[in-house]
Amino acid sequence: MADQTLPQGPSRRSFLNWFLGTTAGAFLFSVLYPVSRYLIPPEVGESTAATVTLQIKPDEIRPNTGQIFKFANRPAILVRTPAGELRAFSAVCTHLNCTVQYRPDVSHIWCACHNGHFDLTGKNVEGPPPRPLDAYVVNARGSQIVVSRSA
Ligand code: FES
Distance CA 132, CA 93 (A): 9
Q: Does residue 34 sit within a domain?
A: yes
Check the CA dihedral 140-142-83-97 and report its sign: negative
The tens-digit pLDDT sequence of the chain (151 residues) is 445 555 566 687 888 888 888 888 888 888 888 888 888 866 655 556 789 999 889 999 999 999 999 998 899 999 999 999 999 999 999 999 999 999 999 999 999 999 999 999 999 999 999 999 999 999 998 899 999 997 6
Q: What amino acid is encoded at 42 in this protein?
A: P
- 77 Cα–ligand 1 center, Å: 16
- 94 Cα–ligand 1 center, Å: 7
Query: Looking at the structure, do residues 143 and 79 belong to the same domain, yes or no?
Result: yes
Query: Looking at the structure, do residues 25 and 60 belong to the same domain, yes or no?
Result: no
Query: Looking at the structure, do residues 59 and 103 belong to the same domain, yes or no?
Result: yes
Atom number in ligand 1 closest to CA 116? 3
Q: Does residue 89 sit within a domain?
A: yes
Nearest-CA residue for ligand 1 atom 1 is: 96
